[in-house]
Amino acid sequence: MTKETVITETQNTFYLTVNDLEEAMKQKHLYADYALLDETWKKRFDDYMTGKKTMPLTYDPFFKCMFHPDRHPDWLSHLLSAILGESVVVEQILPSENTAISVDSLLIMDIVVRLSDGSLANVEIQKIPYMFTAERISCYSSDLLLREYTRLKEEKGFKYSDMKKVYTIVLYEKTEGDFKDPMLHGAYIHHGKTLFDTNLKMNLLQEYFLIALDVFCQNRYTDSKNSDALETINFDMNNLEGWLSILTAETIADVERVLRRYPWSEAIFREMSAYVNKPEEVILMFSEALKIADRNTVKYMIEELQDRATQAEEKQKLAEENQRQETQKRKLAEEKQKLTEADLQRSQEEVAQLKALLAKNNISDIHQK
């Protein structure tokens, strides 16, 4: 079977029309769940089940369905190896709810894994760009490090050398601000760690990988136009561009392009398309994704309102401060004016006194003569 036939052959299992799909959902007693989807998600569900689009892999239920280590331990390991730039093996997924801070970010996917060398990796996908990116990421990384420290401290014979690396990996569907700085020249992956200005060699435990998926897609589209669609086949499963292309592929044309360049992605797309035969599982994933989207929308609106309220409060305080300063300036000006008028009156009185004294002296001189 060639790469070009993968989509064609798997499309035979898809529903031909939306009407056929709706009838099937009714027969399988899934129509109630289907009807609860909003128009956007219902359209995406229809497109997937009729073979027009892929699963939205950047959402938690779909990502974990396809990349859970219990199902395909090598897929997630290859993805993380591509991001970290070194070969790693995912050992297990850890519960993400045991955290010291409230998870209030606008996440659409969150997974914490332990690697075979003992290090931890927290992989998140953000749907909406939020404020205070650096501060939040620092808190998440510190929380993960403290979580591991607390776990190891409970074991006998704890040594600080037992602590391993903690990787915070955040993929952004949409970015703004610093990520779009022209000085970055289209860079879409950013690796950060603590360095000393004296070149002191000390490997601290926290590292960060920030990936802008929208910047990646924009550059990939531009590159494909400029290269006249000439593509080099890549067989390396640790290739970062290959994995990001899989995560961002949406249309069948996207899938075909990925398959041509990264033949190893065939197994992933085959399994993704096979879920069309399990509508009960797919509708549950879409329902969960809708809940996540709704929850994020509410959180985003709350953050926006809080931000506006804070800005309004700061603006009000600034206005009050300006008014206070203006009032103080006016009072100072009035006092200065009063002092000036008093000084003028006093000067005039002194001049009058001097004139009177001078006139008196002149009269005395005349009488003496």
d(CA 272, CA 105): 28
- What's the whole-number mean pLDDT along residues 261-286? 92
First to last CA, the chain: 140
Specify the DSSP class assigned to residue 29: T
- Residue 34 sits at φ, ψ, to 5 deg, of -60, -40
The answer to whether the beta carbons of residues 171 and 247 sit under 8 Å apart is yes
The predicted pLDDT at position 70 comes to: 82
Q: Which residues contact 252 (CB under 8 A, 6 or more apart)?
A: 7, 51, 52, 53
Lowest mean pLDDT among 9-23, 39-53, 78-92, 221-235: 221-235
pLDDT band at 366 (very low <50, low <70, confident <90, very high): low
Alpha carbon 270 to chain centroid, angstroms: 30
What are the structure tokens assigned to 112, written together?
């914490």
Other C-beta atoms closer than 10 Å to the C-beta of 16 total: 10
d(CA 252, CA 54): 7
d(CA 198, CA 33): 60
d(CA 82, CA 88): 9
Lowest mean pLDDT among 107-116, 147-156, 232-241, 303-312: 303-312
The predicted pLDDT at position 312 comes to: 74
d(CA 54, CA 7): 11
Q: Quick: pLDDT tens for 182-212.
A: 999 999 999 999 999 999 999 999 999 999 9
Q: What is the DSSP string of 226-248?
A: HTTT-------TT-HHHHHHHHH
Lowest mean pLDDT among 117-121, 320-324, 353-357: 353-357
If one compares 335 and 132, the residue with the highest pLDDT of the two is 335
pLDDT band at 167 (very low <50, low <70, confident <90, very high): very high
d(CA 252, CA 6): 11
Residue in 83, 67, 355, 307 with CA at minimum distance from that of residue 210:
83
If one compares 326 and 229, the residue with the highest pLDDT of the two is 326
Instruction: Find tokens 């205070």 and name the residue.
Output: 132
Report the DSSP beta bridge partners of residue 208. Answer: 168, 192
Q: Which residues contact 101 (CB under 8 A, 6 or more apart)?
A: 139, 140, 143
- What's the whole-number mean pLDDT along residues 315-335? 83
Instruction: Find tokens 């990264």 and name the residue.
Output: 262
The answer to whether the beta carbons of residues 198 and 183 sit under 8 Å apart is no
Is the predicted pLDDT of residue 272 greater than 70, yes or no? yes
d(CA 364, CA 183): 90
Q: Quick: pLDDT tens for 23-38.
A: 999 999 999 999 999 8
pTM of the model: 0.73
